[in-house]
Amino acid sequence: MILDSLLLVFPFILVVAAFLDLFAMKIPNKLNIALVIAYACFAYILKLPLEDVAMSLALSLGILAFGFGLFALGVMGGGDVKFMAAIALWFGFSIEALEFVFMTSIYGGVLTIAILLLRRVPYLPSFMHGQEWLLKLHDNKIGVPYGIAIAVAAIQIYPNTFWFKQLSAL
């Protein structure tokens, strides 16, 4: 029972981050730190070889560096960049990492188009005016909560990962 609950740690953090990004337009650093700490704990529990940990860390830092370039260009938010890098740590150098980046870009594109279409509506119905988060989504000056696309892609890929297979076998 307890070992089965370990399978939920990763997706639970992702769901919390997605909801916070939707409603507050922010992914707290505490969640990214939680992902990194959980990774370190699971790597220790599963006796992951140091080379694998180093390769995962290299990929994560590479995504972080590339992401900060996108942040500097105003393409991605800083929280989204850190979130994506923390998740990449879990996928390491694997086909799942490529799938994650690909699916994130697909879901992010769909999300962005949906929000841009919402923003074309000149006025929201009056019953939506009390929903502060919805008003933020409608505001052209506010970014897109890309953390939702990142989380959905990661959760979709997660059952195919080494972590899921190893933890479910315990």
116, pLDDT greater than 80: yes
141, pLDDT greater than 70: yes
Give CA–CA dist 9/27, Å, rounded. 17
For 105, phi then psi, to 5°, come to -65, -40
Contact predicate 56/92, CB 8 Å: yes
CA atoms in the 13 A half-sphere facing the CB of 124: 17
Contact predicate 67/121, CB 8 Å: no
Of the segments 1-10, 50-59, 139-148, which one has the largest average pLDDT value? 50-59
Residues 6+ apart with CB under 8 A from 136: 25, 142
Q: What are the tens digits of pLDDT across the range 148-160?
A: 999 999 999 999 9
